[in-house]
Amino acid sequence: METAREIYLQACARLADSFEPDGFRWRSSLSELVKVDGDLRFSFRLQTSARNRLLASSQAPSRWSRLWTNFQGGKRSEGLFPSLIRQLREINSFGSVAIIPHVQIENPKFKAWKRDRLQQKDPNGTIAVTNLGYLMPKHQWLSVNLAKKESRARRTDEIAEQLRTLGIPFQLRFKNPAESAVWMATEESIPFRSFAILEYGYFCGGEALAKEVLGLLLSRFKRLDRIGSYNRSLEEFRSSGIPEVTWANEWEMLAKSALLLGLA
């Protein structure tokens, strides 16, 4: 019987073969497909879960699994986003082997800039990263179960298709740095980090673009009723000093970046 890890690695290998003609190379140490395009590093990161488990092939489906099968009436799987009933039935019958695809864009020069300009001790060069599901029409987290042998290859190929039709165009947007910074500041269906957008805007377009990006972000904060929290964070940091934190809530991180960049 195959192990959950073997199934996950087979899916990774299938995806690696699929994207080799596109110039992506598999990096097993980071579980990602990588392509370098000038200063940009495009990657598809393939996460899995520590909670993976397979049921023995001889194990009979439980009473609940039989009930769910009858309830579904033998309907086909709904692509990469099966219904909750079907998800639970598959887990109950076959187990769970997750593959969770992410789309990422990095720039090593952005990493160096954050170290020099923002005095970050251990920065990364990530410009943007998102789960593939947020690029799809449902705009929700995507985790695909590969435990069922009969659907494994089809689901892996569907992931490849979505990465190719949605993931690659998403990455290519960042070949125009200033335009992509403004786009991220106005895009609300993908959970970008506001402070990271601001920092990237300053990196690629200087103070003028950063001010435009900050204005767009604060307009969003007003709609989401977060502008008060942002302003209170600014006042606190001005009076008590900017804290050396690596992560806090969104308005505190945006306030910190705005102050460090001299924009507030």
Q: Above 80 in pLDDT, residue 183?
A: yes
Q: Above 50 in pLDDT, residue 18?
A: yes
Q: Above 60 in pLDDT, residue 66?
A: no
Q: Above 50 in pLDDT, residue 60?
A: no
**CA 229 vs CA 118, 214, 215, 246, 251: distances in Å:** 23, 15, 16, 19, 6
DSSP 184-199: HHH--SS---HHHHHH
Residues 152 and 183 in one domain: no
pLDDT > 70: percent of the chain: 91
Torsion on CA atoms 97, 32, 131, 84, rounded to nearest 10: -10
Which one of 149, 175, 201 terminates a domain?
175
Q: For residue 174, what is the DSSP state?
A: G
- Give the pLDDT mean for 238-260: 88
- Note the pLDDT tens digit of each residue in 190-220: 999 999 999 999 999 999 999 999 999 999 9
| Residue 245 one-letter amino acid | V
| Averaged pLDDT of the chain | 91
- Give the pLDDT mean for 130-158: 96
Residue 72 near residue 63 (C-beta atoms within 8 A): no
Q: Above 50 in pLDDT, residue 27?
A: yes
Residues 164 and 184 in one domain: no
* Res 199: pLDDT: 98
* Res 63: pLDDT: 54
Q: Above 50 in pLDDT, residue 74?
A: no
- Give the pLDDT mean for 79-100: 94
pTM over 0.85: yes
Separation of alpha carbons 128 and 125, rounded Å: 9
Residues 146 and 185 in one domain: no
SS3 248: coil
Q: What are phi and psi of 130, to 5 degrees?
A: -150, 150
Residues 181 and 161 in one domain: no
Residue span of the structural domain in which 225 resides = 177-260
Residues 125 and 18 in one domain: yes
Q: Above 90 in pLDDT, residue 46?
A: yes
Separation of alpha carbons 96 and 75, rounded Å: 20
Residues 22 and 144 in one domain: yes
- Give the pLDDT mean for 149-176: 97
